[in-house]
Homo-oligomer: A and B are copies of this chain.
Amino acid sequence: MMTQMESARKGTITPEARLCARKEGIPPQKLIRSLANGATVIVGKGKKATAIGSLAATKINANLGTSHEYSDTKEELAKLRSSIEAGADTVMDLSMAEQEKSLALMIENSTVPVGSVPIYGAFANKDIASVSEDEMLKSIARHLELGVDFATIHSAMLLKGVELSKKRTMPIVSRGGCFLASWMLHNGKENPLYTHFDYILELLRASDAAISIGDALRPGCLADSSDKAQLHELKVQGELVKRCHRAGVAAICEGPGHMPLSQIEKNVKLQKKLCSGAPYYVLGPLTTDIGAGYDHITSAIGGAVAASAGADFLCVVTPSEHLGLPTSEDIVDGVVAMKIAAHSADIVKFGKRERDDELSLARSKLDWGKQFSLSVNPRRASSIYNSRATSTGACSMCGKYCAIRIMQKATAKK
C-alpha cells in the first residue's frame, strides 16, 4: 500500500486525488504535484477525502468531544451533525470520557474526516507520571486502528522548550502538551513522541493517516506570543516535517493560539519557511485576551488574517472557549464565524468571489430568497428578515427609504 503522498510522487492520480481536484476546481495533475512535495495534503479516505494546503480553499475544523464532567455521546453526535451542516470541513474528537467509544461513533457517523489526539487515551484517568512510553505509542496505534484520518501528535515539544515555557505568563495551555510536559519533568526524560518519532511514522504510513504536529507550546496569551518557547517548537516542527516527507507521510503543523494582529502574517510566513511549505493549522489566533464569551469573533479576526497570509486550516473557537464545554449552538456560532474568516481569506488568496458577486446581484434586485440561499447560514438570515418584515419588499432597516429602490427609480426615469 502506498500513501497519497507516495502515489502522487509516482504520478498516480488516486480516486481521492481526483475527487479533491474536482472539489477544489483544479487539474488533478496540479494537485498531485502539490501532494508530492507536501504543500497540500489529503485527509480522509474515499468520499471523505479533503484537501488541505496551498492549492486548496481554506478549511475549517470543529472540535467536538466529551469532557470528564459532561459526557453525553448522543449530544456529541448532535453536535457533529450541526457542525457539518454549518460548514465544518473536518471534525476532531477530543473526548476525555469514554474516549474510544466516542471516537468510533464519530468516525462511523461523520461525513467529513475525523481527527483525534490519541495520547488523551493514554493519560485519561491515569497518574500522569506513571504512564509508560509504550502506553503512549499504543494509544496512537489504537486510534489509527479505529480509523482516524488525522492525529495530533505533540512530538515537537522538547525538554528545552518546556524549560523555555517556564518564564511565561501561561506556560502551557495545550492539554496534550501539559500531560507530556508534566510526564517529562517528573521522569526527567525527553518527549517519547519525539524519541520514538520513526516508529510513529511507521504507524502513520501503514494507515495513511496525516500527522498534525501539535503545538504544545502555543502561546495562550498575547504576552507569550512569538516568544522563544514558541519559536523553539516551531523549529522542531520544521525538522519533523522533513522526516515525515522522507517517510511519505502527510504532515500538517499546528500553530497559535493568542497573537497580536501585527505578528500573524510574519508568523505564517515563518512557519511556511521553516516547515517546507507544509499546511499550517491555526487555532484562532485570538487577537486579544479579553474576548471570553466572544472568542469566536476574536479568533475569526485572527483566522481571516492568518489565512489571508497563507494559513490553510483554521480551528473553530466557540463563544464558550475559556469558559466551558460548548453547546451545540456555540459550535454552530463558532463554525459560521470561522467559515466567514476562511471565505474572506479565500477571496484574497484565490479571488473566490463568485458567491459574493451572485449575492450582491441578488441584493441589488431585492431578491430575498436568493440572498438567503447564498448566505453563510440561510436559515438565520431568513429568520432575522422575517421577524421584522415590511410590506414594502425592502427590509425593515430602510423600508420605503431603501437606497437600492430609490436609485432604481432615479435611474429608470432617465
| A residues adjacent to B (C-beta < 8 A) | 67-70, 96, 123-124, 128, 166, 169-175, 177-179, 181-182, 185-186, 220-223, 260-262, 287-294, 296-298, 300-301, 304-305, 308, 319-326, 336-337, 340-341, 343-345, 347-348, 353, 355-357, 359-361, 363-364, 371-372, 374-377, 380-381, 384-385, 387-390, 392, 395-401, 403-404, 406-407, 409-411, 413-414
Task: Given A293-B375, A300-B301, answer yes or no on A260-B347 (Cβ-Cβ < 8 Å).
Answer: yes
Is A381 touching B308 in the complex (CB atoms < 8 A)? no
Is A404 touching B173 in the complex (CB atoms < 8 A)? yes
Is A381 touching B182 in the complex (CB atoms < 8 A)? no
Is B360 touching A223 in the complex (CB atoms < 8 A)? yes
Contacts of A220 in B (CB 8 A): 360, 363
Is A398 touching B261 in the complex (CB atoms < 8 A)? no
Task: Given A301-B340, A396-B69, answer yes or no on A360-B289 (Cβ-Cβ < 8 Å).
Answer: yes
A411 contact from B171, B222, B322, Cβ within 8 A: B171
* Cβ distance A51 to chain B, nearest Cβ, rounded Å: 22
For the complex with contacts A185-B410, A289-B363, A292-B372, 13 further pairs of A-B residues with Cβ separation under 8 Å are: A67-B401, A68-B398, A69-B396, A96-B398, A178-B410, A221-B364, A222-B357, A223-B360, A294-B380, A296-B297, A301-B301, A323-B395, A325-B396
7 contacts between A and B (CB under 8 A): A68-B398, A177-B403, A221-B357, A261-B308, A287-B344, A305-B305, A324-B384
* Cβ distance A128 to chain B, nearest Cβ, rounded Å: 7
Is B347 touching A287 in the complex (CB atoms < 8 A)? yes
A305 contact from B178, B261, B375, Cβ within 8 A: B261
Contacts of A221 in B (CB 8 A): 356-357, 359-360, 363-364
Q: Give how many copies assemble into the complex.
A: 2
Report Cα–Cα, A289/B355, bound state, in Å. 8
Residue of chain B at shortest CB distance from A296:
B297
Contacts of A261 in B (CB 8 A): 304-305, 308, 344-345, 347-348
Residue of chain B at shortest CB distance from A388:
B324
Report Cα–Cα, A260/B356, bound state, in Å. 11
Is B399 touching A337 in the complex (CB atoms < 8 A)? no
* Cβ distance A16 to chain B, nearest Cβ, rounded Å: 28
Contacts of A185 in B (CB 8 A): 410-411, 413-414
Contacts of A384 in B (CB 8 A): 292-293, 319-320, 323-324
Contacts of A323 in B (CB 8 A): 381, 384-385, 395, 397
Is A364 touching B396 in the complex (CB atoms < 8 A)? no
* Cβ distance A263 to chain B, nearest Cβ, rounded Å: 9
By Cβ-Cβ distance, the 6 closest A-B pairs, closest first, are A221-B360, A182-B410, A178-B403, A287-B344, A293-B380, A289-B356
Is B343 touching A290 in the complex (CB atoms < 8 A)? yes
